[in-house]
Amino acid sequence: MRALHRSLAFLAAALALLLPARPAIALPTFGQTCSNCHNATTGRLSVTSTVKTNLDKTRLDKQKAGSLPTFTVLRGKKLTIPIVVLNGTSTYAVEVANLSAGGLIKKRANLLAYTPGAGFTVLGKPAYYVSSTGGTSWRGQRTTYNFTITVKKNCPVDTYELYVRVAGTGPGKWSQTQRIYVQVR
């Protein structure tokens, strides 16, 4: 019996050496996003626009967000949001979320109607988008990701708030979130 156990142990060790190693990945599950497990930090992400808007006095949800980068798009047109990762340390991924939240100025029932562009993978319900499901290795330099959507012609005219995040590891688990406005006209 011992000989059988030794043989099985040897076989298991040999298989472990011969089979290719798969990288470990962690995906947000059960509707949670990266920031649920990764601690908040700063200095990792930049989303800039030529305009910042403060809607604190007019938001229907009464949240106080302060001045946020604002992107304006006409219905039926494409919108590209440049997301710059400033420091991804070891491994990271970019996430864009909150696309199913309601309008902020006209009606909370207004929903952003869009078609996603290429380059990001859709996950979860409600849908959010990630740049990589296995993580991207940091190469030591700023990296720009362009998140693109085409706003549908029937999209309600309103202002919507999106969450742009970068989350990663090394050392520890970290994330940074930038809230932005998308004004549809």
Write down the pTM of the prediction.
0.79
Name beta bridge partners: 149: 79, 116
The number of distinct structural domains making up the chain is 1
- The two structure tokens encoding residue 16: 């472990």
Q: Containing domain of residue 15, as a range?
A: 2-184
The per-residue pLDDT for 160 is 98
CB proximity list for 136: less than 8 A, separation 6 or greater:
88, 91, 92, 93, 143
CATH number at residue 110: 2.60.40.10
Place 158 in a pLDDT band, splitting at 50, 70 and 90: very high
In the predicted structure, residue 79 carries a pLDDT above the cut 80: yes
List pLDDT tens digits, range 115-152.
Answer: 999 999 999 999 999 999 889 999 989 999 999 999 99
CA distances from 110 to 113, 156, 165, 179 (A): 9, 6, 24, 19
The per-residue pLDDT for 149 is 97
φ, ψ of residue 64 in degrees (nearest 5): -110, 100
List pLDDT tens digits, range 40-77.
Answer: 677 889 999 999 999 999 999 999 999 999 999 999 99
The per-residue pLDDT for 123 is 94
